[in-house]
Amino acid sequence: MNYRLIFHTLGWVISFEGICMLLPFACALGFLEQNPFIFLICMGICLLVGIPLTLIRPKEKSMFAKEGFVIVALSWIFLSIFGALPFFLSREIPLFSDALFETASGFSTTGASILPNVEALSKSMLFWRSFTHWIGGMGVIVFLVALLPLSGGDNMHLLRAESPGHSVGKLVPHVKSTAKILYSIYIGLTVLQFALMMADPGMDWFTALTLTFGTAGTGGFAILNSGLATYSPYIQWVVTVFMFIFGVDFTFYYCILMRRYKTAFSMEEVRTYVGIVLVMTALICLNIFHMIGNTADTLRHSAFQVASIITTTGYSTMDFNLWPQFSQMILVGLMFVGACAGSTGGGMKVSRVLVLCKSVLKEIRVLTHPKCTTRVKLNGRPIEHETLRGITVFFISYIFIFAIALLIISFDNFDFTTNFTAVAATLSNIGPGLCGVGPTANFSGYSPLSTMVLTLVMIAGRLEIFPMLVLFSRKTWKR
């Protein structure tokens, strides 16, 4: 294990987080808050820890898969710990485990909250909370790789461990340029959404910015207790569309920019994703029409909720806890599917679900025609056996982690739906679940043990499980 390289990279990550705190600090100054220097203090702590670590020069610059996993997993854990400092030190969230939960929920773009009353937080804290979504959406390591001459930064292992998807590839030959392109698209879309939000006359920049951050990272922290219910239909539509947009594989946008329209529109995953969204929206529309009674509103609420859950954002315009069971079940199903690989969304990813379904069909075919030779294909190309195995193992680990977390949090004695959807909502980085953790409720009822477990589950979900498993595996640390 290359410890020097790990410490060096961690140093950069922590310093980077410190610098990010300049923005909420400016925000605190702007709103003339009582305690504006809390972010400056936290930034000082980050830099004090981070900069000495960056001075540890790695002797051996080559990085292997093991280091890639460990660096990414540790980075995210430390990001959450240091990111929790402002909440904790300002006493706005008095319990450290709660503050940690809130931050991890932010960075992992989950959007689950332990705050009973969000509106009680100061504006700078709200800003920081939403900003962590934006940072976490595309990933910190990707950002550092794009900007810094990071040791081992021209290495795919880091990017692969942090980016969602079963086969993370490059858009262009250089890792650095790939990271730059991803972030440019991300920033471009963010700016576009912000501009469209500001077009609403009733919108102030603070709300627009925090909501945009939450949408872009597919996070879901709202700044009102009522979520997005009180905003105008226009804003709700803009958010719906952009949640959907950020759930699409960014390779799609790159192909569009490169004018490779044919490649873009033949991406099977994106097509399936669009199909799922359309069909599910239609089904929910039919199911809840009698509750709302007017077509435009029905369509808006269904589309919003479907986009919000499938992209794992977790905003809500309506308490879907009150919807009929059929619609609720659709939403729970969408929680597991998640967005496209290579997007900012979480969940198992449409491509994985697609491949799993195709493997089942293939097995059925082989059972009926035992001598039949057939391969599972995606985008018209046969999938390597290794990839297929990776996807199956991912699915199994997903279920295992799910079961273990469910078992531990059941100590708190909530009902099954609450516990089940709480784990689903955190593991898939969505935010709200059903019943006790529904869109109008929150996670404040859980004990510190459960919040700690769910914190780890959120980070594991964001990093797609394996980096965390590698980190906690004894074999990794054996000499």
Question: Which residues are near another protein by CB under 8 A?
Answer: 65, 154-157, 169-170, 172-177, 263, 381, 384, 386
Shortest Cβ 361–another protein spacing (Å)? 23
Query: Tokens for 136?
Result: 């976490």
Phi, psi at 67, each rounded to 5°? -60, -40
Distance CA 303, CA 274 (A): 12
Say if CB 459 and CB 79 are below 8 A apart. no
Distance CA 112, CA 72 (A): 22
Please identify, using beta-carbon distances, which residue of 152 and 220 lies nearer to another protein.
Answer: 152
Please identify, using beta-carbon distances, which residue of 64 and 472 lies nearer to another protein.
Answer: 64
In the block, tokens 């499938």 appear at 310
Shortest Cβ 201–another protein spacing (Å)? 46
Shortest Cβ 355–another protein spacing (Å)? 16
Please identify, using beta-carbon distances, which residue of 384 and 415 lies nearer to another protein.
Answer: 384
Query: Tokens for 254?
Result: 């790159």
Shortest Cβ 270–another protein spacing (Å)? 17
Partnered with residue 381 across adjacent β-strands are 378
Please identify, using beta-carbon distances, which residue of 57 and 174 lies nearer to another protein.
Answer: 174
Shortest Cβ 214–another protein spacing (Å)? 33
Please identify, using beta-carbon distances, which residue of 62 and 232 lies nearer to another protein.
Answer: 62
Shortest Cβ 467–another protein spacing (Å)? 16
Please identify, using beta-carbon distances, which residue of 65 and 199 lies nearer to another protein.
Answer: 65
Distance CA 391, CA 346 (A): 15
Shortest Cβ 175–another protein spacing (Å)? 6
Phi, psi at 378, each rounded to 5°? -135, 135
CA angle 289, 290, 292 (to 5 degrees): 70
Distance CA 335, CA 391 (A): 18
Strands (E), 179-318: none
Shortest Cβ 161–another protein spacing (Å)? 12
Shortest Cβ 174–another protein spacing (Å)? 6
Alpha helices in 55-122 (DSSP H): 65-89, 96-107
Would you say how long the chain is, in residues? 479
Please identify, using beta-carbon distances, which residue of 18 and 153 lies nearer to another protein.
Answer: 153
Please say whether the dihedral angle defined by the alpha carbons of residues 439, 441, 445 and 451, taken in this order, is positive or negative: positive
DSSP letter string, 124-157: HHHHHHHHHHHHHHH-HHHHHHHHS--TTTT-HH
Query: Tokens for 266?
Result: 């033949």
- The residue among 263, 221, 228, 254 whose CA lies nearest residue 113 is 221
Distance CA 35, CA 41 (A): 11
Shortest Cβ 399–another protein spacing (Å)? 27
Please identify, using beta-carbon distances, which residue of 204 and 386 lies nearer to another protein.
Answer: 386
3-state secondary structure (DSSP) of residue 382: strand
In the block, tokens 């909530």 appear at 414
Please identify, using beta-carbon distances, which residue of 365 and 385 lies nearer to another protein.
Answer: 385
Shortest Cβ 148–another protein spacing (Å)? 15
Query: Tokens for 397?
Result: 């680990």
Distance CA 93, CA 210 (A): 19
Say if CB 42 and CB 89 are below 8 A apart. yes
Please identify, using beta-carbon distances, which residue of 333 and 390 lies nearer to another protein.
Answer: 390
Please identify, using beta-carbon distances, which residue of 177 and 295 lies nearer to another protein.
Answer: 177
Say if CB 355 and CB 348 are below 8 A apart. no
Strands (E), 133-256: none
